[in-house]
Amino acid sequence: MTQELRHKYFDRSMSEWIKMVANELPIDAVGMWQIVPGGRHGFGLEGEALTDYVRRCIAELLSRGAVPVVGGGLEGEHEWIAQPQYGSKPDEIIENVVREWLANGAKDEDPGGLWFARRERAWFPPA
């Protein structure tokens, strides 16, 4: 049995860290700009290992009721704008987000990019 990687600075297992990332949701949204560097710099991941980490983080966020969003909604209750183009099912959302991130060079993202927020904090544009 191989031991799970531990965060370089905070000595948490990867599974613990992924849960901690999602624990932010009741307070604020979680951005790709936080997820990617967390795996790259916190665990030393690159390539397929980093991609798997990103998938796992997104899956945990979605399992807690998050949806893909960007900033720009109304201040207060609905400060995030839902991004339905990524799909409606978790597997579909994960694959579309990861595909886009990889197509953009798998780089550390910008805070102005994609985030994940709880559904009740997002504004859903009319279809």
Euclidean distance between CA atoms 105 and 75, whole angstroms? 32
Q: Would you say 12 and 20 are in contact if contact means Cβ atoms under 8 Å apart?
A: yes
Whether 8 maps to a domain, the answer reads no
What pLDDT does residue 75 have?
A: 67
Alpha carbons within 13 A on the beta-carbon side of 49: 13
Q: What residues contact 25, with CB distance under 8 A and at least 6 apart?
A: 61, 64, 65, 66, 116, 117, 118
Residue with tokens 């009319």: 126
Q: Would you say 32 and 66 are in contact if contact means Cβ atoms under 8 Å apart?
A: no
pLDDT tens per residue across span 13-37: 999 999 999 999 999 999 999 999 9
Domains: count for the chain: 1
Single pTM value for the model: 0.94
Q: Would you say 67 and 49 are in contact if contact means Cβ atoms under 8 Å apart?
A: no
Whether 25 maps to a domain, the answer reads yes
Determine the residue type at 120. Answer: E
Whether 30 maps to a domain, the answer reads yes
Q: Mean of the per-residue pLDDT values for the chain? A: 93
Full domain range(s) for residue 34:
14-122
